[in-house]
Amino acid sequence: MRYLSTRAVGADDAKPFCDILLEGLAADGGLFLPEEYPRLDAGTLEQWRGLLAAEGYAALAARMIGLFLDDIPASDLERLTTAAYTGGKFSDPRIVPVSRIGDGPLWLGHLSNGPTAAFKDMAMQLLGELFEYELARRGSWMTIVGATSGDTGSSAEYAMRGREGIAVVMLTPAGRMTPFQQAQMFSLTDANIVNVAVDGVFDDCQDLVKALNADAAFKAEYHLGAVNSINWARLVAQVVYYVSCWLRVTDGPGQEISFAVPTGNFGDICAGHVARSMGLPIRRLILATNENDVLDEFFRTGVYRPRSSEQTWATSSPSMDISKASNFERFIADLYGRDGARVRELFDAVAEGGSFDISGTPEFEAVRTSYGFVSGSSTHADRVATIGRLWREHGVLVDPHTADAVTVAEQYVADEPVVVLETALPVKFAATIEEAIGCRPPVPERFAGVEEGPRRVVDLPNDVEALRRLVVDTVGSLPNLVR
């Protein structure tokens, strides 16, 4: 299996999986996609039904991800998925259990049983294994310098902590994360994890990371890398739970279900699009946004109009507060039959602060008819009402992001089961839960006391020279890092 950029013209520079694993973004500014998606026939899926039941999620993951690569031996891949998806790291041995809401059409697919109680763990845990494996194989190392306003950073740190050949320097906006998120990150004491509180907001943190990466010599010398959501390995790891949810909700071949997905950067639902393209019987992909509805607007109207940061609202489902959807280009590339020149043209227009409009074209018609997408958006009042209603009527407590997807899914209920992907646990968003049900969410046992322990965080001015010195010192302080 070889990979091409969404903006590639011609197939001459296709790359194997482990190359694009470490590269992230393609050199031409596009995103990597496999030359073609492997096909899942009914026989394979029924065989996997037995595999999931007998050997569990990690075995299914190895088998499915193995379809997308030929540069990691199958036995190694199975070792990596087994290390990533274990009962030791996930609070449920099924890794992604499903549960039905009452006796209605809606189900929950529980993606938030990992170390940081957010669905990003599903991909990041495997990414940590893959990075460590491939860096060791190449005798190389990496410094991950990232910026986070919450979930992604902590998920990355829990996936990379204690790993050989990997250091993490994670910038956070001082005083702007929830107490739970701060505690989760700053309580880590592993030598290879450095938390930084920048005197600034999230955009400042991101600008610092960009400025550092713009220095090509520094980037090469310190092996700067990233774990952002456009990494193909993260996406392929997410395809696995679409398959496992389908296997757990259906009981025989060909049965169609739909998925409802709380969406920000289009990573999670893009994995659903890949699963559906492979032939998994998915009827509809129901995309839910919050008040930041740039994707709902596209799927309703055909106009893709990213917002400026001033027009991006801070909402009570903060992990969906995005202004542009970084993975969206992958879907557009498929929609246009991998016409790299056309994709470049569309996203060049967007990069210059513009938009594109494909309303009235056969491609936009296909979004619904061939690709199964529908969408909707949800507001603070909607999510609070949904959380309260599910709690009172069914004793089910969902977090604000999941509530957005339930709100939208309910508008599209038909006769097939709909799996709403649960992307975080309520404990992370206690204030909104309290507003909805009148009391604070329960704290799962594994997070008890996390807000009390010692903290390790470095204060940093909003200054790229200071960040540069910190990276140099960090690498210098880890004698085992540089191979």
Q: Pick from 231, 423, 432, 474 the residue near ligand PLP by CB under 6 A.
A: 423
Q: Is 267 in the site for ligand PLP (CB under 6 A)?
A: yes
Q: Is 290 in the site for ligand PLP (CB under 6 A)?
A: no
- Closest contact distance (angstroms) between CB of 334 and ligand PLP is 17
- Rank residues 244 and 423 by Cβ distance to ligand PLP and give the closer one: 423
Cα dihedral angle (376, 381, 386, 391), rounded to 10 degrees?
Answer: 160
Q: Pick from 181, 182, 229, 407 the residue near ligand PLP by CB under 6 A.
A: 229
Q: Which alpha helices (H) appear in 177-231, and where do they start and end?
A: 179-186, 202-214, 216-221
- Fill in the per-residue mask, 309 to 328: x = in contact with ligand PLP (CB under 6 A), - = not in contact: ----------xx--------
- Closest contact distance (angstroms) between CB of 88 and ligand PLP is 22
Q: Pick from 30, 105, 264, 306 the residue near ligand PLP by CB under 6 A.
A: 264
Q: Residue 161 is encoded by which pair of tokens?
A: 């902590």
- Rank residues 129 and 404 by Cβ distance to ligand PLP and give the closer one: 404
- Rank residues 34 and 318 by Cβ distance to ligand PLP and give the closer one: 318
Q: Pick from 121, 132, 134, 151 the residue near ligand PLP by CB under 6 A.
A: 151
212 touches 145 (CB < 8 A): yes
**Distances in Å between the alpha carbon of 341 and those of 127, 264, 337, 349, 350?**
30, 26, 11, 13, 15
- Closest contact distance (angstroms) between CB of 465 and ligand PLP is 31
- Rank residues 44 and 182 by Cβ distance to ligand PLP and give the closer one: 182
Q: Is 159 in the site for ligand PLP (CB under 6 A)?
A: no
Q: Which stretch binds ligand PLP (CB under 6 A): 63-71, 161-169, 197-205, 258-266?
A: 258-266
Which residue's entry shows tokens 């043209």? 345
DSSP 3-state of 213: helix
- Closest contact distance (angstroms) between CB of 317 and ligand PLP is 7
Name every residue whose Cβ is closer than 8 Å to that of residue 187 and which is 6 or more positions away in sequence.
450, 453, 454, 455, 456
Q: Is 401 in the site for ligand PLP (CB under 6 A)?
A: yes
What phi and psi values does residue 228 have, to the nearest 5 degrees? -70, 170
- Rank residues 173 and 264 by Cβ distance to ligand PLP and give the closer one: 264
98 touches 108 (CB < 8 A): yes
Question: Maximum CA pair distance of the chain?
Answer: 60
Residue numbers 94-133 binding ligand PLP by CB under 6 A? 118-120
CA distance 186 to 249: 38
398's enclosing H/E stretch is: none
Q: Which stretch binds ligand PLP (CB under 6 A): 265-273, 362-370, 386-394, 467-475?
A: 265-273
Count of other CB atoms within 10 angstroms of residue 334: 18
Q: Residue 347 is encoded by which pair of tokens?
A: 């996203």
Q: Pick from 262, 306, 340, 441 the residue near ligand PLP by CB under 6 A.
A: 262
Which residue's entry shows tokens 């909003």? 462
CA distance 264 to 239: 17
DSSP 3-state of 155: helix
- Closest contact distance (angstroms) between CB of 405 and ligand PLP is 9
- Rank residues 78 and 399 by Cβ distance to ligand PLP and give the closer one: 399
**Distances in Å between the alpha carbon of 178 and those of 59, 150, 348, 428?**
36, 8, 36, 8
Catalytic residues: 120
Q: Is 426 in the site for ligand PLP (CB under 6 A)?
A: no
- Closest contact distance (angstroms) between CB of 444 and ligand PLP is 16
Give the footprint of ligand PLP on this chain (CB under 6 A): 118-120, 151, 229, 262-268, 319-320, 401, 423-424
